[in-house]
Amino acid sequence: MTILRRLPLHPEWALGFLSLCVALSLPLLVQSYWLHVFTIGYFYAILASSWALLAGTAGQFSLGHMAFMAIGGYTSGVLGRFFGLPPLAGILVGTLAAGLVGWVIGALCLRFKASYLALFTIAFSEILRMLIRGEPQITRGDHGLHVAPLFGDVISRVPYYYTMLLFLLLCLLLMYWLTSTRVGLFLRAIREDEEAAAARGVDVVRYKVLAFVLTSMIAGLAGTLFAHYVAILTPNIMIIPQMGLVIAMAVIGGVESLVAAALGAVLIEVSLEALREFEAWRLVIFGALLVITLRFARNGLLAPVFQRLLRAGPRAESRERVVADGA
């Protein structure tokens, strides 16, 4: 049997390849305004997919994702404003700063039950938001911190679109690689039963902190890209409804599938913008969709659909061949 026959063809990869083909050609098909909407959708996709890794794979429920996003964005913006740090260096430092804060919080909270992490991160997020609002001489508070654009005086949104798409793909590849290693196996074991995993020799706290730091850094990276795209930051990006939006995007797409969570974020962002003229009803529709998902599709709406469509295709055939060759 050839090596190709042994390779598992996951539905997520077929879905990802199809989505990538559409995404690469999108600037030729839509107007500049909708290009902006999709760019913001990719920003939310980075956040939703990384939260899906944290919750769906590692079993950790955090409400501080938007806080880490803000740490990355404000770190890059403040360093650029006061020290003249260029955007690329600011992106790197902001990402590392979010990871450092994530390591501190993880080391403090992840030794306890999951509820402590949720309570601590929501409190941390609100405290950070109040600190940003209360230090206008540094962060400009509610007036907004002006951040240098990533591409200088370039007016076109196309470079920002492809940049956000590129980093989304890189983050997805990194997270998929992680889940395919022993680390991913340990994280899934911890999600299912921490005590059983610890009894088999898994360092539970170490791997939980590792997952938390990685997703914090990805959220910080998304924040730096967002800051250098919109060129202004306000504390409103950290309000609790924004965190709820990210969680809802991951849940509706499929919290156990990184690609489905990312695609769910893009589709929801585009749908909410398309329904903007129905201001009184768009959030009602969104809330009803979330309720239906939680009641009838615990693994999201997108992930089961694509798994069912592709179940009888090459993946099923490859499984039959592996069984036959093994016999």
Buried b (16+ CB within 10 A) or exposed e, 174-190: ebbebbeeebbebbbbb
Among 269, 273, 274, which residue's Cα sits nearest to residue 246?
A: 269
Write the CA distances from 154 to 59, 143, 150, 224, 229, integer angstroms.
42, 24, 9, 18, 11
Report the 10 Å Cβ neighbour count for 283: 13
* Token reading at 291: 């309720």
Which residues are 146's β-sheet partners? 232
Q: What pLDDT is recorded for position 323?
A: 32
Q: What pLDDT is recorded for position 307?
A: 64
Per-residue pLDDT of the chain (327 residues; tens, 9 = 90+): 444 344 445 555 666 677 788 888 888 888 888 999 999 999 999 999 999 999 988 889 899 999 999 999 999 999 998 998 999 999 999 999 999 999 999 998 888 777 788 889 999 999 999 999 988 898 988 888 999 998 888 888 999 999 999 999 999 999 999 999 999 999 999 888 888 888 888 888 899 999 999 999 999 999 999 999 999 999 988 888 899 899 989 988 888 888 889 988 999 999 888 888 777 777 787 778 778 877 776 677 776 766 665 554 434 433 333 333 333
Q: What pLDDT is recorded for position 200?
A: 85
How many Å apart are CA 12 and CA 24, to the nearest integer? 18
Bridge-based pairing of strands 145-146 and 232-233 is: antiparallel
| Exposed/middle/buried for residue 79 (C-beta within 10 Å: 0-12, 13-18, 19+) | middle
To 10 degrees, what angle do helices 258-274 and 302-310 make? 120
CATH number of 10-317: 1.10.3470
**CB contact at 8 A, 263 and 45:** yes
* Token reading at 18: 């199809």
* Token reading at 295: 């009641």
How many Å apart are CA 117 and CA 65, to the nearest integer? 12
**CB contact at 8 A, 215 and 53:** yes
Instruction: Output the pTM of the full model.
Output: 0.86
- Give the list of residues 6+ apart from residue 46 with CB closer than 8 angstroms, or none: 164, 167, 168, 171, 218, 219, 221, 222, 225, 262
**CB contact at 8 A, 223 and 72:** yes
18 residue type, one letter: L
**CB contact at 8 A, 164 and 221:** no
Q: What pLDDT is recorded for position 52?
A: 93
